[in-house]
Amino acid sequence: MAENKLIIVSTRLPVKVSKNENGKLEFHQSDGGLATGVSAVNKSRDSVWIGWPGIASEELTKKDKTEVEKELEKRGCYPVFLTQNQIDNYYSGYCNATIWPLFHYFSNMTMYEHEYWKSYKEANTQFAKIIKKLSNDNSQVWVHDYQLMLVPKMLREWNVKSQIGYFLHIPFPSFELFRLLPERREILQGLLGADLIGFHTYDYVRHFLSSVSRIEGLETNLGSIYLRDRVVKADAFPIGIDYKKFAKSSKVRSIKKQVHSFKLFKDKTKVILAVDRADYSKGIPARLDAYEAFLRKYPEYKEKVVMVLLASPSRGDVQAYQDLQEEIAQKIGKINGEFSTVDWSPITYFHKSLPQSEVAALYTMADVMLVTPLRDGMNLVAKEFIATKHKKGGAIVLSEMAGVATELPESILVNPNNTEMVADGIRDALEMPEREQKERMRAMQERISTYTIHRWAEDFMHELERTKERSANHPKLMKKSDTKSLKKDYDAASKRLILLDYDGVLKSFVNSPKKALARPSGKVKRIIKKMTDDPKNHVMIISGRPKNVLESYFENKGLGLVAEHGGWIFDAGSWVKHSVNAKKWKKPALSVLREFVERTPGANLEEKDFSLVWHFRNVSPDLAFVRKEELKMELRNALEGVDVEVFEGNKIIEVKPRNMHKGAIVSDLMTQEKWDFIMAIGDDYTDEDMFRVLPERAYSIHVGREETLARFTLEDVSSVIELLNSLK
């Protein structure tokens, strides 16, 4: 097995298996864009492709399956066999009747069926299992598209150490749409298993990040998503085409011959071409309406233009697609019926999939290309057409709703829902002077000939490598040798000070209003007790929580407790209260805070003895962003001249006396004893005060990936528990 193997995963393999009438297996290689792009990055190494071979497993005997596996392996492919039930519920169901319509903004066509979801999970598990089998620690796994959104998390949970990249080929919808999905959290968490998540446009990245922060409550910054134990990167990688292949179309003999045979209707007319999969997202009926409006508004074009509509059959087993088929046929019938003359029909319709050479021939001969999807992740047809017009004229009318629109501003951009605008766009395209056509084409060609499918794939893989490296090479991550010297120093010491924050250190954050109920586990309690019982140890839980909460969590006698960042200290058997008088400032602060709770849906107020906390974890992020700034300003105004500080923490704004912080407590502790071993573990900004005052030799440990003053970093709560448990 080669060292850094590349594993491509997509629902469909680039090889389709079928059975002929005699029951003999046939293998058809499809020359998709993805296969071309991937071939560019995998030249120098071993690579495999995992996917469904396009045939129901019921149609295959055991012997057939073995033959399929053997034949596919010769082509570097590994099959995932799907049953007819999975094809119905997973593929036609959750993929094409739930995710596809919802992500393309057709919420009224979205079907929510529990059976679909069940099957989606099951099929994703099947894919993930085969990936696990074929991967090693150095492989790169590249998962494609909306059919496999749970796979990255599954791999992560099964401890697959490969770099995991994920690319979504369709739009990622805005939060308002995405939130409709019953399984929205599982889908987001599934994707977040990846190291790198790619989209076609930055708008999709924005939408994704917005859902991540609003649904999962995670921090994001410039495309980076901060999980407790690693950073996930989301970025835009606009897919390209094999530019050279399309650019030389007009010189290829077979294509030239093809063009000649199409000349029939070309001679006296201009050709308006449209090429799509017959999918409702492609806006074919709306396009026909616009063409009809064009013929009515500009009757001088009758008999001078023809629309060639090429729609390849797609997903015929989903009802919505059957309905669409009928609607298209009816509209074409109506237009041709009304406008045709003895020797002219306004629309020539092909409802089939043509070989790529014939599609290229159509592009070559077309004068105007109509690409008017209601929604489209990217749309490669637009790029292919432009490439075939290398050094030639031609015009393209393009929907603003296609991802590709951001890369092609020189096209005639239209709103596909605006019939009049599309009709006028067709006229403008037909009347555009050839010089202008060429100029616009040249600008667009320059762009798409640079960022080709090869560049796209290379770029993605390169970024994937960097993302994983960035995550793994955290300079402060505690190494085995660091743990070893910590243990050595611990064993040698007889006066040890151990300071532990609670939330995020001994207990993971729980993103819910019930967070206050997150009690320590039995294991944590046992470890704390064992450490406290050792007479050489002085252990303190040092937290911002109120004293009654800490008291109810830990009842060991010898354990020190610091509540409210130092407002209360339980040491040597009783609670001691800080001498500061909080009454003076609480009243004016409370009146401001209460007003902000009323004005901000989702916010709540926590009143502690020494501090007031405004929680905004459940406030919508955009509103929270505005309100927290206003609140900080108003609090500072109301508390001017008072010795309190207003600061922002993890989804909170807190007001507390300026000299009451973990640093002050730790400074005191430093003077009380001559400790020969000090260890402090914390995870948030309040712990930085503690790290700041510790002597250099202390083992200060931050939990998480953020910047810190601590000497070391641990990934998560379980690593903390593992470390504490290993101390004798």
Main-chain dihedrals φ then ψ at residue 418, nearest 5 degrees? -100, 95
* Residue 14 found at the interface with ligand ADQ (CB under 6 A): no
Report the distance separating Cα 633 and Cα 665, nearest Å. 29
Report the distance separating Cα 37 and Cα 240, nearest Å. 9
Cα angle 180, 185, 188 (rounded to 5 degrees) comes to 105
- Report the candidate in 273, 256, 345 with the shortest Cα–Cα distance to residue 310: 273
DSSP 399-454: ETTBGGGGG-TTSEEE-TT-HHHHHHHHHHHHHS-HHHHHHHHHHHHHHHHHS-HH
Q: Is 461 helix (H, G, I), strand (E, B) or coil?
A: helix
Closest approach, Cβ 655 to ligand ADQ, in A, equals 50
Per annotation, catalytic residue among 242, 276, 501, 683: 501
Closest approach, Cβ 360 to ligand ADQ, in A, equals 8
Report the distance separating Cα 89 and Cα 378, nearest Å. 26
Phi/psi-derived region of residue 622, left when phi > 0, alpha when psi is between -120 and 50, beta in every other case: alpha
Closest approach, Cβ 377 to ligand ADQ, in A, equals 3
Q: Footprint of ligand ADQ on residues 153-172 (CB under 6 A)?
A: 169-170
Report the distance separating Cα 146 and Cα 167, nearest Å. 9
CB atoms within 10 A of CB 560: 21
Task: Decide if 534 contacts 561 (C-beta within 8 A).
Answer: no
Closest approach, Cβ 276 to ligand ADQ, in A, equals 6
Closest approach, Cβ 397 to ligand ADQ, in A, equals 15
Looking at residue 618, its amino acid is N
Closest approach, Cβ 446 to ligand ADQ, in A, equals 20
Smaller CB separation from ligand ADQ, 309 or 655: 309
Closest approach, Cβ 707 to ligand ADQ, in A, equals 37
Smaller CB separation from ligand ADQ, 155 or 310: 310
Looking at residue 671, its amino acid is T
Smaller CB separation from ligand ADQ, 376 or 683: 376
Closest approach, Cβ 256 to ligand ADQ, in A, equals 19
Closest approach, Cβ 305 to ligand ADQ, in A, equals 21
Residue from 275, 370, 569, 698 binding ligand ADQ (CB under 6 A): 275
Main-chain dihedrals φ then ψ at residue 79, nearest 5 degrees? -85, 145
Smaller CB separation from ligand ADQ, 32 or 621: 32
Smaller CB separation from ligand ADQ, 384 or 684: 384
Cα angle 375, 381, 387 (rounded to 5 degrees) comes to 140
501 included as an active-site residue: yes
CB atoms within 10 A of CB 288: 22
Report the distance separating Cα 502 and Cα 297, nearest Å. 72
Smaller CB separation from ligand ADQ, 200 or 711: 200
Could you tell me which stretch among 7-15, 19-27, 269-277, 527-535 binds ligand ADQ (CB under 6 A)? 269-277
Could you tell me which stretch among 107-115, 256-264, 275-283, 689-697 binds ligand ADQ (CB under 6 A)? 275-283
Smaller CB separation from ligand ADQ, 454 or 656: 454
Q: Footprint of ligand ADQ on residues 338-357 (CB under 6 A)?
A: 353-354
Could you tell me which stretch among 273-281, 469-477, 613-621, 689-697 binds ligand ADQ (CB under 6 A)? 273-281
- Report the candidate in 169, 73, 154, 597 with the shortest Cα–Cα distance to residue 379: 169
Q: Footprint of ligand ADQ on residues 363-382 (CB under 6 A)?
A: 376-381
Task: Decide if 582 contacts 598 (C-beta within 8 A).
Answer: no
**Binding footprint of ligand ADQ, residue count (CB under 6 A):** 19
**Continuous segment of H or E residues that includes residue 717:** helix 717-726
Smaller CB separation from ligand ADQ, 312 or 650: 312
Smaller CB separation from ligand ADQ, 8 or 703: 8
Smaller CB separation from ligand ADQ, 83 or 312: 312
Residue from 277, 438, 447, 530 binding ligand ADQ (CB under 6 A): 277
Q: Footprint of ligand ADQ on residues 432-471 (CB under 6 A)?
A: none
- Report the candidate in 482, 491, 488, 484 with the shortest Cα–Cα distance to residue 537: 491
Q: Per-residue x/- mask for ligand ADQ, residues 297 to 326, rule CB under 6 A?
A: -------------x-x--------------
- Report the candidate in 451, 429, 427, 299 with the shortest Cα–Cα distance to residue 367: 429
Q: Enter the tokens of residue 600.
A: 């901000």
- Report the candidate in 37, 24, 36, 29 with the shortest Cα–Cα distance to residue 13: 29
Cα angle 121, 124, 127 (rounded to 5 degrees) comes to 155
Smaller CB separation from ligand ADQ, 312 or 417: 312
Residue from 183, 276, 501, 503 binding ligand ADQ (CB under 6 A): 276
Per DSSP (E only), the strands in 616-671 are 644-649, 652-657
Closest approach, Cβ 455 to ligand ADQ, in A, equals 14
Residue from 77, 239, 366, 646 binding ligand ADQ (CB under 6 A): 239
Could you tell me which stretch among 19-27, 274-282, 327-335, 705-713 binds ligand ADQ (CB under 6 A)? 274-282
Q: Which long-range contacts (CB under 8 A, 24 or more apart) does 93-96 make?
A: 93/119, 93/120, 94/119, 94/120, 95/11, 95/120, 95/146, 95/147, 96/315, 96/318
Q: Footprint of ligand ADQ on residues 26-55 (CB under 6 A)?
A: 33
Closest approach, Cβ 293 to ligand ADQ, in A, equals 24
Q: List residues with catalytic annotation.
A: 501
For binding to ligand ADQ (CB under 6 A), which residues are involved?
33, 169-170, 239, 275-277, 310, 312, 353-354, 359, 376-381, 384
